[in-house]
Amino acid sequence: MPIPAPAGALPAAFRVLCMRCLRAKARGIEAHECVWSPTTLKCEYCTSQHAGCVPLPWYLGEEYQALLDIETSTNPSPAAITAAAAEANRVALVAAQSVPKFSSSAELGIYEELRATRAAIEAGFAAIEEGFAAIEAGFAQVQSLLILLQTDEKRVPALFEEVV
């Protein structure tokens, strides 16, 4: 479940494409470019529309990379660009609907801390499971060595009799 990024977590590097420009690409407007000015927090399109500008959320990284790969390919297809932008827009809409609404920034902070704690616990359980798998593999190796020793133990007296 995607969560909103903590306040101040989005650097200027994320200001490459805004949601309004993504929707324009999803509608198939080919001539639309999202140009960011280093002096403002809005792209030129949103500034001309006198509208708020929302940069792409961090959880759209894979979808944005797919869109960027299509746009920078040697033969970019307008239909493929539209489809990739529509998919990114769909993911953003689903993510926005799945995030709970908070009445205060304190609730949001608590939610983020709980999510981080849960992720740390799940990572710890995964490490424990890997440790148990390694122990089981070592136990299986020890068992096979014991079986080899038992068979060798039965052959040793016969070897002594042959030598004597």
135-147 pLDDT tens trace? 999 998 888 888 8
- Quick one: which of 7, 6, 1, 17 has its CA closest to 88? 17
Question: Do the Cβ atoms of 17 and 64 come closer than 8 Å?
Answer: yes
Instruction: Tokens 């529509």: give the residue.
Output: 86
Query: Among 3-7, 42-46, 91-95, 104-108, where is mean pLDDT lowest?
Result: 3-7
Cα–Cα distance, 5 to 24 (Å, whole number): 24
CA-atom Rg of the chain in angstroms: 29
Question: Do the Cβ atoms of 46 and 52 come closer than 8 Å?
Answer: yes
Cα–Cα distance, 64 to 89 (Å, whole number): 10
CA distances from 40 to 11, 52, 69 (A): 14, 12, 27
pLDDT, the chain, mean = 81
Question: Do the Cβ atoms of 146 and 37 come closer than 8 Å?
Answer: no
- The pLDDT of residue 3: 52
Q: How confident is the model at residue 1 (pLDDT cuts 50, 70, 90)?
A: very low
pLDDT, mean of residues 91-120: 85
Q: How confident is the model at residue 159 (pLDDT cuts 50, 70, 90)?
A: low
Cα–Cα distance, 58 to 90 (Å, whole number): 15
Percent of residues, the chain, with pLDDT higher than 90: 16
The residues that bridge with 18 in the sheet, in sequence order, are 55
Residue 18, pLDDT > 50, answer: yes
- Quick one: which of 5, 107, 7 has its CA closest to 56? 5
> Which residue has better confidence, 96 or 26?
26
Q: Is 3 left (phi over 0), alpha (psi -120 to 50) or beta?
A: beta
